[in-house]
């Protein structure tokens, strides 16, 4: 089975994680999907398959004879998708892309256009998996799962390919920042790993943002609007003032590359109370600290305008740039580059404008860069995946496994 065929099957599972939940996994649908993956893993010849009580899926491809002492290499992807976009009732379709707009839903007038998404032009002459324009696709990260299991099936079906022990892991709740929280490193027992959770094929990602968050609470004063002069403090309007104190050019929609941002993810409010949630990101740790300080400077200014206690800003740090770990293992990047070239691709180092399970796992002791999966426009209704690039991503996994068969620790 080809990787794209697996993706089409997998997107039928509505596996959005839920930040409001305190369970692990945060939604039962992820565990249902994990159980289905376990059955498929057994069918393709993967050994020691299990799903644990937290919904983490593990499996092993034993080493080829004589390669038992080779490094143990892992491949990891996550099962959940985001909840911010409709994620149920996904209707994928495969189209041959010859350029121009792709009609996703002519009845609703929804088109996927290279004018808005110029990366489509790199896929001319290939086949794309798209949605009907009303849901996400789920390529983040069901692409990665599909590619790992496609590579695994190839390896178990071709015993002449020499490789060391290969570990496979699928995590829940990555999209809400909890994917590595209960990952059993001792059970996984890999020396190194790769997450398959990137975008365009050929990407090799060894650095992420440093990450922080801010929770803002605003206390207003509600009175009858007819007698509000000099008395009312409208918490919703104060929230707008607070947001306006942060740099407008440092919002996600205005940044790229190594530029960090302030991202207002949630806002709710009335006259009496308002709350805001921000995520703060920067590849440079000092610049991230500046962003946290800016939040508190804006807090001080609002309290100066409206009185002490009007606003409280609780901030904290979430994860660090994994570069400081990965740079100690340059062979991980070099090996990925070689594998990508050998299947006809052009490797490219990309700084992740986000986080991955690999970031957390790297700091937990499992060096884990990230590879591109042939998916685009993640977390939105215009998400799509490239069939041929998914094939190449699966081939890269096989190549990496081969290369580590003779690698000396």
Residues 243 and 387: beta-carbon distance below 8 Å: no
Cα separation, 74 vs 337, in Å, equals 17
Cα separation, 30 vs 11, in Å, equals 12
What are the C-alpha distances in Å from 205 to residues 41, 230, 285?
A: 27, 54, 18
SS3 39: helix
Which of these, 190, 199, 197, lies nearest to 77 by C-alpha position? 197
CA 320 centroid distance within chain: 15
Which ranges in 230-364 belong to alpha helices (H)?
235-244, 285-306, 323-326, 330-342, 357-364
- 80, 141, 205, 250: the catalytic one is 80
Find the distance separating the first CA and the last CA of the chain, reported in whole Å. 34
- 174, 175, 205, 391: the catalytic one is 174
Cis-peptide into 25, omega within 30 deg: yes
Active-site residue 80, yes or no? yes
**Which residues participate in catalysis according to the annotation?**
80, 174
């Amino acid at each position: 089975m080809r990787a794209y065929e697996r993706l089409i099957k997998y997107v039928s599972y509505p596996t959005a994680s839920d930040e409001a939940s305190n369970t692990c996994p945060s939604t039962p649908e992820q565990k249902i999907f994990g159980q289905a993956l376990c059955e498929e893993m057994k069918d393709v010849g993967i050994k020691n398959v299990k799903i644990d009580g937290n919904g983490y899926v593990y499996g092993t491809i034993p080493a080829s004879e004589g390669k038992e002492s080779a490094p143990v290499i892992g491949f990891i992807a996550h099962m959940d998708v985001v909840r911010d976009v409709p994620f149920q009732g996904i209707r994928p379709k495969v189209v041959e892309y010859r350029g121009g707009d792709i009609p996703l839903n002519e009845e609703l007038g929804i088109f996927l256009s290279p004018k808005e998404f110029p990366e489509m032009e790199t896929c001319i002459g290939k086949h794309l998996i798209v949605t009907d324009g009303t849901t996400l696709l789920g390529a983040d990260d069901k692409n990665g799962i599909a590619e790992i299991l496609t590579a695994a099936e190839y390896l178990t079906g071709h015993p002449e390919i020499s490789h060391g022990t290969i570990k496979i892991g699928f995590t829940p709740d990555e999209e809400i920042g909890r994917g590595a929280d209960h990952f059993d490193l001792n059970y996984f027992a890999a020396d190194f790993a790769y997450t398959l959770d990137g975008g365009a094929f050929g990407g090799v990602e060894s650095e992420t943002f440093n990450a922080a968050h801010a929770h803002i609470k605003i206390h207003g004063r509600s009175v009858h609007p007819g007698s509000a002069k000099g008395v009312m403090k409208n918490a919703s309007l104060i929230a707008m003032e607070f947001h306006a104190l942060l740099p407008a050019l440092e919002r996600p929609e205005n940044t790229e590359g190594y530029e960090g941002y302030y991202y207002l993810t949630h806002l709710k409010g009335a006259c009496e109370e308002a709350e805001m949630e921000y995520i703060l990101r920067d590849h440079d740790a000092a610049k991230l600290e500046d962003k946290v300080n800016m939040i508190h400077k804006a807090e001080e200014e609002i309290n100066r305008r409206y009185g002490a206690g009007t606003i409280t800003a609780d901030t904290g740090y979430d994860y660090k740039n994994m570069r400081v770990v990965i740079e100690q293992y340059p062979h991980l990047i070099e090996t990925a580059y070689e594998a990508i070239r050998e299947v006809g691709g052009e490797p490219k180092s990309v700084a992740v404008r986000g986080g991955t399970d690999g970031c957390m796992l790297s700091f937990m002791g499992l060096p884990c860069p990230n590879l591109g999966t042939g998916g685009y426009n993640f977390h939105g209704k215009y998400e799509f995946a490239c069939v041929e690039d998914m094939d190449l991503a699966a081939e890269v996994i096989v190549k990496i496994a081969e290369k580590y068969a003779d690698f000396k620790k």
